[in-house]
């Protein structure tokens, strides 16, 4: 059944007027922290979330800014946690950018050995939670004609041995991104998918336990892409799947 956006909610008393507002999940480290840093540098107020409160607060404290930074910790598979984020965004007055970055790897194992519980958990976190958060955020996105960014992976199409469960959850998210882009275009809310490429992060290290991954670049290598993307009109990029480490020419004319 098609998603029918609700009417935009009235601005909260504490709205930041024309100040742009972003919500970033999985923001305590790695790629999420990098995206948060770019957004703050671009003078956006931000709402940051992650499961571990101590790491989240440390990241927020490291952001040198006079902008508003709100933090909410918890598991995004929990509807209550998602609602705390919507409440925080409503308090600020809307959402211009929603970055669905939080995800779980779930371990590297053959699909034939992946339990139903593991599969359900990965889809709950990597697929259902981003969609559910986007659904709840729609009135706030509508009020500002915002942009939804869903973080994908090359595992979504790579069919790598051992990555099947994670890859399937990201492939489903890719289809959700394209479908939402088509459904929300009439109300001028943009949706894109982004494959950040291999990065030197804790989650990537989990995929290669005991191996040296120092040849992978740090998440900061993607900063030029985020600087470019957040300059674009959401309707000019909606429906596109980008590769953050590709050449700039491919961002302008992406190969999907």
Listed in sequence order, the DSSP H helices in 93-163 are 116-123, 129-142, 155-158
User: In whole angstroms, what is the distance from residue 253 CA to residue 238 CA?
Assistant: 13
- Is 166 noted as a catalytic residue in this protein? yes
User: In whole angstroms, what is the distance from residue 191 CA to residue 176 CA?
Assistant: 9
User: In whole angstroms, what is the distance from residue 85 CA to residue 98 CA?
Assistant: 11
List the catalytic residue out of 166, 226, 242, 251. 166
Instruction: Find tokens 């931000």 and name the residue.
Output: 46
Q: Is 147 exposed, middle or buried (0-12, 13-18, 19+ CB in 10 A)?
A: buried
Cβ neighbours of residue 1 closer than 8 Å, sequence gap 6 or more: none
Does residue 148 contact residue 134 with C-beta atoms inside 8 Å? yes
Pairing of β 190-195 and β 97-100: unpaired
The set of catalytic residues is 166
């Amino acid at each position: 059944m098609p998603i029918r956006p609700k009417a935009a909610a009235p601005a909260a008393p504490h709205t930041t007027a024309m100040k742009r507002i972003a919500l970033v999940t999985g923001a305590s480290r790695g790629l999420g922290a990098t995206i948060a840093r770019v957004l703050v540098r671009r003078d956006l107020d931000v709402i940051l979330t992650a499961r571990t409160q101590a790491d989240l607060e440390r990241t927020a404290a490291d952001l040198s800014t006079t902008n508003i930074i709100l933090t909410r910790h918890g598991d995004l598979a929990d509807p209550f946690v998602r609602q705390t984020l919507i409440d925080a965004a409503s308090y600020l007055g809307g959402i211009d950018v929603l970055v669905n970055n939080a995800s779980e790897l779930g371990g590297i194992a053959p699909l034939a050995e992946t339990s139903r519980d593991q599969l359900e958990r990965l889809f709950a976190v990597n697929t259902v939670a981003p969609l559910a958060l986007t659904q709840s955020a729609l009135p706030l996105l509508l009020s500002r004609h915002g942009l939804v960014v869903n973080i994908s992976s090359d595992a979504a199409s790579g069919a790598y041995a051992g990555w099947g469960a994670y890859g399937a959850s990201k492939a489903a998210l890719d289809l959700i991104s394209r479908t939402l882009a088509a459904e929300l275009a009439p109300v001028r809310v943009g949706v894109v998918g982004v494959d950040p490429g291999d990065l030197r992060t804790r989650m990537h290290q989990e995929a290669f336990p005991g191996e040296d991954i120092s040849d992978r670049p740090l998440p900061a290598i993607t900063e030029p892409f985020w600087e470019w993307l957040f300059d674009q009109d959401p309707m000019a990029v909606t429906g596109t799947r980008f590769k953050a480490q590709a050449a700039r020419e491919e961002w302008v004319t992406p190969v999907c």
